[in-house]
Amino acid sequence: MNSVILRTAASFLLPLLIMFSVFILLRGHYLPGGGFVGGLVAAVGFVLHMFANGLDETRRLLMIHPGYLLPCGLSLALLSGFTPVLITGEPFMTGVWLDDPVPVIGSIGTALFFDLGVYLVVVGVSLTILFTISEEVK
Amino acid sequence: MTQLIFLPILFQACIAVLLLFFFGKVKIQKIISIAGSALNLAVAGGVFYVVRLEGSMAVQAGNWQAPFGITFVADTLAVTMVLLTAIVGFAVSIFSAYTLSGNRIRFGYFPVFHFLMMGLCGSFLTGDLFNMYVWFEITIITSFVLLTLGNEKEQLEGAVKYFAMNMLASLIFLTALGILYGLTGTLNMADLSGKLMAIENRGLVNVCALFFFFGFGIKAALFPMYFWLPDSYHTPPTAVTAVFAGLLTKVAVYALIRVFSLVFIPEAFFNNLFLIVGAFTILSGGIGSLVQNNIRKVFSYLIICHIGYMIIGLGLFTQAALAGMMFYLIHDIIIKTNLFLMSGMIIKIKGSTDIRQLGDIYNDHPRIALLFAISLFSVIGIPPLSGFWPKISLIWGGIEKSDYLSVGFILFGSFITLMAVARIWSKVFWKSSTVTAPPNAPLFFDQLSKRRRFWILFPVGFLSVVTLYIGFGADNIHLIASRIAEDLINVDAYIELVLGK
């Protein structure tokens, strides 16, 4: 799609959408949101960029193949599950939290890293699927 | 110490994630998968040993107390299944590495395979019905991928039937979960066990039990619901079918055993239902195996036939019958995997699956034929071999309950199995072969290098040794089976372990 309006808008919207997705990711622990929705929003940002500038541009912007986000996200999620086993000896997946909340982000605990893992997996999977489809269309 | 329970699940997850990092790199993936499966065998063996030594263990994931959190329970039944999964996984991993085409591996065969193993271990170890549903979904989704990987027309046709029936089964399972949760407000199996007894609306409880029976029954390929199995199991590569044959129907049998001993206290109606369905399963599977000409379809029908034994064992519900059922389950997982690996070898050697054309195996490869004979005779249950001992316990259970009809069906099933195996033996091994122009099989067995031939034979040999151990070390296996049977009859220990009263 070769439209100046779309291209200009997409280059502004991509960082905005990624910021918004991080916001959704962070508020997800007690409020609606979380890694899954956040990941989808971030993926939408890249898809919009792909519509405006073409697949090759988006690939260059991402630098790595989105498929690699999948094992990264999974291992992050697994590690966050292992943390309580290693640190406090509590069962797998028990939430371990820092005592003092960090400004802006809020309380940091293993649940956040688990969500971050989900976020990466969702971005990776949806972008891999969409890239593959649009490759075949071309 | 109790954290050990998670290890079989997490270890498989770690292998799968590690494999994803090397997506598309065939050689590294093979090495990781085989080494990982070998290590996993040690892990599962260790967990089995610890549980046998120190008794059952339970852990609440996330440290939320039962019944609110998700419980993982490792009792003798669960760890035995996990150990069997590890044995099958090890054999199939090697067989896959040496028989699958590079393209299948490049498109993610091994990560999906290990996710399937993870799902199986999860469904054996969980103590929560909804969690079991989730693990079942993982096994189903991964098995879809394994079934369709390669994109051949025949595969897709089989996969459609498999998909449709398994989705239906999941839907029924989910409906049953919904009703159960509405009735009791919990899905923890130990908690349900007590709460379901107190419910006055017995009609609804029984309807719910029927839903579970049909949901698991489709997956286990019981009598009226088995037809998807022979239609889909012969389409994917043999390595895939071997896992499916060994473990996927058995995980549903495991679920039936768990649910109908722990959650629903067996009533006369359900016992009779199991006996009737089991008898018909033996009958239809056995007759099916006699008329088929595709060697893999013959074995597929034999799977169905032998599921019937276990269901009859569950229906009789005496100590002897349950021990026989468990012994049969242990024997069956190993032997069915081995049968399908063997069918893969036969296809590699001769390049055909049609037993009217096959032949000459005994003539050309007498030693390999002898190796196959161990498994084939074990399936029938020639006395010192593994198929013999569980049948004695099952028949004893039937006589105890003076249910001579079931005893008759068990004997009849053995007879039909004997006929089917004799037919395979005479037609595939003794008859002279008429396979003509070799079809598009990638590489015939005789043309492979010596090293590769050894590694293709190794898993079959490994599983044959395990089978021989089950036969000759029947004492030890029977000890485990009786222990499990005791646990199934007296569920109080399980409930106390989980709820900690």
Q: What is the pTM of this model?
A: 0.94
Residue B323, phi-psi category: left (phi > 0), alpha (psi -120 to 50), beta (remainder) = alpha
Q: What DSSP element (H or E) covers B60?
A: strand B57-61
Interface of A with B (CB under 8 A): 67-68, 70-71, 74-75, 78, 81-82, 84-85, 89-95
Read off the pLDDT of residues A75-85 as tens digits, 9 standing for 90 and up. 999 999 988 88
**Distance between CA B473 and CA B230 in Å, rounded?**
33
Of A91-100, B138-147, B374-383, the range with the lowest mean pLDDT is A91-100
Task: Look at chain B and count its residues.
Answer: 501
Q: Does the beta-carbon distance from A70 to B20 stay under 8 Å?
A: yes
**Distance between CA B127 and CA B498 in Å, rounded?**
8
Task: Look at chain A and count its residues.
Answer: 138
Determine which of B15, B17, B134 to mutate to test the interface with A (most A C-beta atoms within 10 Å).
B17
> Using CA of residue B348, residue B351, residue B357, residue B362, what is the dihedral sign?
negative
Q: Which residues of B touch A68 (CB under 8 A)?
A: 21
Q: Which residues of A touch B18 (CB under 8 A)?
A: 71
Of B277-281, B303-307, B368-372, the range with the lowest mean pLDDT is B368-372
Read off the pLDDT of residues A83-113 as tens digits, 9 standing for 90 and up. 888 888 888 888 888 888 888 777 888 889 9
Q: Where are the domains of chain B?
A: 2-434+444-499
Q: How confident is the model at residue B78 (pLDDT cuts 50, 70, 90)?
A: very high
Kindly state the tokens that stand for B243.
């896992």
First CA to last CA distance, chain A: 12
Q: Which residues of A touch B23 (CB under 8 A)?
A: 67, 71
Q: What is the DSSP string of B392-455?
A: HHHHHHHHHTT-HHHHHHHHHHHHHHHHHHHHHIIIIIISPP---S--S-SS-GGGS-HHHHHH
pLDDT of residue B218: 94
pLDDT, greater one: B500 or B442 = B500
Q: Where are the domains of chain A?
A: 4-137
Q: Does the beta-carbon distance from A91 to B21 stay under 8 Å?
A: no
pLDDT of residue A98: 84
Give the nearest chain B residue to A83 (CA atoms). Answer: B62
- Identify the CA nearest to B390 among candidates B275, B283, B484, B487: B484
Q: Which of B3, B17, B62 sits opposite A78 (nearest CB)?
A: B17
Q: Which of A68, A70, A93 sits opposite B62 (nearest CB)?
A: A93
Interface of B with A (CB under 8 A): 2-3, 6, 10, 13-14, 17-18, 20-21, 23, 59-63
Read off the pLDDT of residues B90-126 as tens digits, 9 standing for 90 and up. 999 999 999 888 888 898 899 999 999 999 999 999 9
- What ipTM did this prediction achieve? 0.91
Per-residue exposure over A72-109, b if at least 16 CB sit within 10 Å of its own CB, e if not: bbbbbbbebbbbbbeeeebbbbbbbeeeeeeeeeeeeb
Q: Which of A71, A81, A84 sits opposite B21 (nearest CB)?
A: A71
Q: Which of B10, B23, B61 sits opposite A91 (nearest CB)?
A: B61
Give the nearest chain A residue to B20 (CA atoms). Answer: A71
**Distance between CA B186 and CA B171 in Å, rounded?**
19
pLDDT at B441 over 60: no
Q: Which residues of B touch A81 (CB under 8 A)?
A: 10
Query: Mean pLDDT score of chain B, rounded to an integer?
Result: 91
